Chains A and B, each alone.
Chain A
């Protein structure tokens, strides 16, 4: 598996800016934890090529429908496609990285 070279698309995606969105509902423990975890992973693996948007649904409830948000907190990877969602407080680093398809360097 490791010997298979990364597809060109993946190489491109590595170059482009990642767009991440984290949906939270107020400053709950879970939300705060999730945000802290996410910041940490991004700094570690995507430094300088990610855009993180935090949306508080208590302030903008109309935005929940667009991304089909049910669970809180939810992390949505908008770019690169396909869209991926990770729910929970993102405490399991390995799962988050696999879920976001971030190849550890």
Chain B
């Protein structure tokens, strides 16, 4: 049922539109300008009204093969041609090819005397002739109010201009009419905006010395359209309206993992790194090695042979490369291989939108796997928080749609450390948020890194101390002291203490071993003594036994001798008994 409703809505007939081919404008107008109807482009001086008109014609010729007529009231054909050459528009060639007709209408009050009734049929005939001669589908009138300076009779002019709009509609040509902005109304004459079917207002605003051009669609008969003010730029390739971003959150996601460039940091993530195409934010106070972390990530991307764009808003490319070499990250080879592109500029060089367009262009050109912006907090100098936030939203959207991993660093001021809020308010937009901070102890500062959030994977909850060494960033093992995790000198003390204790224990054990040995030897000596003693006693006893045996034998012998001398007095026997 839902699908049926959706398809019927999509199939609903739309007002036919003529695509302008101007970056972003067709998205806002949902397809282009009203086909066969007049559109008014108004704005003050320097807004790019004429340029928009010319680009509309040129893109129509190049992209849609719709010939066009440009009727210029202010600039001559040669001036116009020269002005847009730098944008790569070759009006002469287009004219030669019979696709474009430039007609300069010269109106000079001093040459014209007025007597009696007249109308502007001559203009109609000229325009009609120009249109018919090349079969034009698109017409630009720049700037029609120049007529008002040439012809004094306002009443005639107004009615003639009305007739002109009607006539253009009947001709079925898509027309762009430019007009100067008037006081309190969209145009000087307050006429064109009512007879046009679509009104685009261009605006050139300077806020805090930074110029931003903005575009708004004031009206569009018979069609819905974007109603916001959209920033736009005049770039080397013509006009570019910035919100070339998806307004829906419907991008593809990747399940691939990219390493952060610091192995120990990867280990803190459940999946050993960031998701490809996710956005990573590193916040921290000054000097907490945010740039070093970012550079480590860049080097890792390049090491895998992928491209990376590094926007450095604080350092020049050479300075960055030199500084990173001191911590064992050599970025120069990657630059030479064309894998790493460092774009350095002061944020104040351009308005926010210009930065965004630069980035869009670079991403389109280089197709990088990762984009690093260091730092985003500097952008606040060229816009207010809301603008920066909306720009970053668009940026993150854009990068996500292109599956580009984005890494931003952001400086947070000392006051805000506790709140852990970024001033740009982007912390809710990013997928992974790393916080680096000073762990200030007694008389020293140490760096600690922790993961505040990491969408889609588990992560460590520890604040890990890390040091920046000659070989890059190293996370130190967690040392738990009596009062929690200890860092820096405390860590050293703790380690020393532990070593001392271990040594003492080892010595104690050795001492005990020696004691046992000693005891054993004493015991053995005693046993020897006893054995010796026993031997001497045994010998004595044996000697006594021997003597006894001999004595008994002697006695027996004697007795036998007495028995054998029986009757014969024995001299010795009785007295001996």
- Listed stretches B116-124, B538-546, B557-565; interface member: B116-124
**Is the beta-carbon distance between A70 and B150 smaller than 8 angstroms?**
yes
**Is the beta-carbon distance between A74 and B122 smaller than 8 angstroms?**
yes
- Listed stretches A3-11, A42-50, A87-95; interface member: A87-95
Is A58 positioned at the interface, with any CB of B under 8 Å from its CB? yes
Residues of the A chain whose Cβ atoms lie less than 8 Å from the Cβ of B147: 70
Is B577 positioned at the interface, with any CB of A under 8 Å from its CB? no
Is A18 positioned at the interface, with any CB of B under 8 Å from its CB? no
In the complex, which residue of chain A has the Cβ closest to the Cβ of B123? A70
Complex Cα–Cα for A68 and B73 (A): 11
- Across the interface, A87 reaches (CB within 8 A) one of B105, B112, B126, B128, namely B112
Residues of the B chain whose Cβ atoms lie less than 8 Å from the Cβ of A62: 129
> In angstroms, how far is the closest chain A Cβ from the Cβ of B341?
51
**Is the beta-carbon distance between A88 and B114 smaller than 8 angstroms?**
yes
Residues of the B chain whose Cβ atoms lie less than 8 Å from the Cβ of A91: 115-117
Give the interface residue-count category, chain B. Answer: 20 to 34
- State whether A57 and B122 are in contact (beta carbons under 8 Å apart), knowing that A65-B103, A68-B106, A70-B150 are contacts in the complex: yes
Is A79 positioned at the interface, with any CB of B under 8 Å from its CB? no
Main secondary structure of the interface of B (DSSP, over half): mixed
Is A86 positioned at the interface, with any CB of B under 8 Å from its CB? yes
Complex Cα–Cα for A80 and B302 (A): 78
In the complex, which residue of chain B has the Cβ closest to the Cβ of A96? B115
Is B191 positioned at the interface, with any CB of A under 8 Å from its CB? no
**Is the beta-carbon distance between A58 and B125 smaller than 8 angstroms?**
yes
Is B107 positioned at the interface, with any CB of A under 8 Å from its CB? yes
- State whether A23 and B118 are in contact (beta carbons under 8 Å apart), knowing that A70-B105, A87-B112 are contacts in the complex: no
Is B183 positioned at the interface, with any CB of A under 8 Å from its CB? no
**Is the beta-carbon distance between A68 and B105 smaller than 8 angstroms?**
yes
**Is the beta-carbon distance between B116 and A25 smaller than 8 angstroms?**
no
**Is the beta-carbon distance between B122 and A90 smaller than 8 angstroms?**
no
- Across the interface, B116 reaches (CB within 8 A) one of A72, A85, A88, namely A88
- State whether A73 and B118 are in contact (beta carbons under 8 Å apart), knowing that A58-B125, A61-B125, A61-B129 are contacts in the complex: yes
**Is the beta-carbon distance between A71 and B115 smaller than 8 angstroms?**
no
Complex Cα–Cα for A62 and B125 (A): 9
- Residue-wise interface mask of A (12-41) relative to B, using a CB-CB cutoff of 8 A (1 in contact, 0 not): 000000000001010010100110000000
Is A78 positioned at the interface, with any CB of B under 8 Å from its CB? no
Residues of the A chain whose Cβ atoms lie less than 8 Å from the Cβ of B120: 70-72
Is B151 positioned at the interface, with any CB of A under 8 Å from its CB? yes
Is B471 positioned at the interface, with any CB of A under 8 Å from its CB? no
- Residue-wise interface mask of B (85-108) relative to A, using a CB-CB cutoff of 8 A (1 in contact, 0 not): 000000000000000000101110
Complex Cα–Cα for A73 and B111 (A): 15
In the complex, which residue of chain B has the Cβ closest to the Cβ of A98? B113
Residues of the B chain whose Cβ atoms lie less than 8 Å from the Cβ of A61: 125-126, 128-129
**Is the beta-carbon distance between A72 and B118 smaller than 8 angstroms?**
yes
In the complex, which residue of chain B has the Cβ closest to the Cβ of A23? B122
Ordered nearest first, which 8 A-B pairs have the shortest CB separation?
A: A99-B113, A61-B129, A88-B116, A91-B116, A89-B116, A72-B121, A69-B122, A92-B115
